[in-house]
Structure 1
Amino acid sequence: MTLYAATKSATELMGHSYAHLFGTPTTFFRFFTVYGPWGRPDMALFKFAKLMLEGKPIEVYGEGRMSRDFTFVEDLVEEIVRLVDVVPGTAPPVEGDTLSHSAPFRLVNIGGGKPSPLMD
């Protein structure tokens, strides 16, 4: 596990603890490789497009077997808006979330649901 992944997991666990101990309704959203207007230029999609436009080779890692679940930024915002008023513990679970049974805590994965091989 990378340090980045560990800090994300620790943050989610802390959120669940607060929800459990103090009854604070808490929702965490997990985003997957977001792209679109104002996207980060250091992300793979933008790097690949830039290199292709410049006619330069793309460096391949992991023997080209990696996949990513790309999510358009407007789809991401739509999901957040749809769920922002759905308070954990007071509403039935919605598709794709993990409503905790021991605390008003919800973890929602927001992605396209179809990882694409980067070699495609």
Structure 2
Amino acid sequence: MTRALYLVLGLGFTALGVAGAFLPLLPTTVFLILAAACFARSSPRLEGWILNHKQFGPLVRDWRAHGAIPKRAKVLACTGMAAGFAIFFLSVHPGLWLGLGVAAALGLCAAFVVSRPSAPQ
């Protein structure tokens, strides 16, 4: 039962990761890291597929080995968060506290991304 749950979660995270490759504000790598973790507990074949993927495999392997994120990915992630906040702020016109809350949450996420070691590109 647990293995099946991890498989379903892994497939869902993979679908989100694939969607993120085409949608600008949806992250790809984070979902593929989660998918690989789920597949490690459910499907070694699918885990191997992600780890050996030409585009995303090196990012997932760097994360597993060193908790590292390439500098380019850091810049893109922080830019995406800033753009997402700008779109949110300009389209929703949130109240002061909601705007500050979202800004704080995104700021903490950006700080985490920046704080990770830089992987070679």
TM-score range, shorter chain: under 0.3
Higher strand share: 1
TM-score, normalization by structure 1? 0.26
The structure carrying a bigger helix percent of its residues is 2
TM-score (norm 2): 0.26
The structure with the larger Rg is 1
Higher relative contact order (CA 8 A, sep 6+): 1
